[in-house]
């Protein structure tokens, strides 16, 4: 049976390829874009099974209105895919307040508003799935990506809580966590203003890697989406899905390191309890 999907950020990258795959197998997709014409070729090929919507994720009223209108038109949406987002690059004091606010408004509060707007509709229809495109950067951190990580760690914490709140309504979540992947992510980075004092720090090393294009983009976009789809169709998928060997290795190493550090502090933690 075909499904109805609502996907944000479909002009390129994961959103675009996922839209292509779903349409090719016969599903219907409500796809949001910011740039006119980005999906014209798919419209010609798939006709009424693709509905293209203009949406800026920083516009709170537009997010809610678009979700309401989509459910009214479709009758039922089986899965919401919150994919729209971008990266802000630079050490914390190298990025402006305006850049900070836009990063969080798009990646964090925009995604939160999207999910909040969808929940009443999903409850009324008896359930559904919300898929959040996060990143390995929702569980680990690189220098010069501090604000990007704030958005990804933030949305993962939000979803961890909301998933518990709405599970009894038949609503579940999947957090997709790709590692470095060959998309347009790097080309679309919002760049801070490099400060000379950071030149000899890990943040400076990251600036040089960006300039010299030496990041290890081991993940393949097409293969990543092919790996995603079976999990998005599962009856009871895991909450988190890492994509790519780098994501798996980095997340595993970070979790092991945190567990070792935590267990070393057990006596200190227990000493803070009230006395019996």
User: Residue 169's Cα: distance from chain center in Å?
Assistant: 23
* 148 in catalytic set: yes
Cβ(82)–Cβ(158) under 8 Å? no
If residue 133 lies in a helix (H) or strand (E), which one and from where to where?
Answer: strand 128-133
- HSE (CB half, 13 Å, CA atoms) of 15? 27
CB 148 within 8 A of CB 206: no
**CA of residue 36 relative to chain centroid, distance:** 22
Residues 266 and 276: their CA atoms lie apart, in Å, by 18
Catalytic residue from among 11, 142, 151, 152: 152
Q: Which of 134, 135, 151, 224 is catalytic?
A: 134
Sign of the dihedral defined by the CA atoms of residues 188, 151, 81, 248, in that order: positive
From 11, 135, 148, 151, active-site residue: 148
31: enclosing H helix or E strand: strand 28-33
Residues carrying an active site annotation: 134, 148, 152
């Amino acid at each position: 049976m075909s499904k109805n999907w609502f996907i944000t950020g479909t002009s390129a990258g994961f959103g675009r390829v996922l839209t292509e795959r779903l349409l090719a197998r016969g599903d219907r997709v409500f796809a949001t874009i910011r740039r006119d014409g980005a999906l014209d070729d798919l419209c010609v090929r798939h006709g009424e099974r693709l509905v293209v919507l203009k949406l800026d994720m920083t516009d709170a009223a537009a997010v809610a209105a678009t979700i309401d209108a989509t459910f009214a038109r479709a009758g039922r949406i089986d899965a919401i895919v919150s994919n729209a987002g971008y990266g802000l690059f630079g050490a914390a004091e190298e990025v402006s307040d305006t850049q900070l606010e836009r990063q969080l408004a798009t990646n964090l509060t925009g995604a939160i508003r999207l999910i909040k707007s969808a929940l009443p509709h999903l409850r009324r229809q008896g359930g559904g799935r919300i898929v959040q495109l996060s990143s390995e950067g929702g569980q680990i951190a690189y220098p010069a990506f501090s604000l990007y990580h704030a958005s990804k760690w933030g949305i993962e914490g939000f979803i961890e809580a909301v998933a518990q709140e709405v599970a009894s309504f038949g609503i579940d979540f999947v957090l997709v966590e790709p590692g470095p992947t060959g998309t347009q992510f790097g080309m679309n980075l919002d760049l801070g203003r490099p400060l000379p004092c950071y030149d000899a720090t890990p943040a400076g090393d990251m600036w040089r890697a960006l300039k010299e294009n030496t990041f290890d983009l081991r993940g393949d976009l097409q293969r990543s989406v092919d790996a995603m789809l079976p999990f998005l169709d599962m009856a009871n998928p895991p909450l988190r899905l890492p994509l790519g060997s780098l994501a798996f290795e980095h997340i595993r190493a970070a979790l092991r390191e945190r567990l070792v550090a935590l267990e070393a502090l057990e006596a200190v933690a227990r000493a803070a309890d009230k006395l019996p």
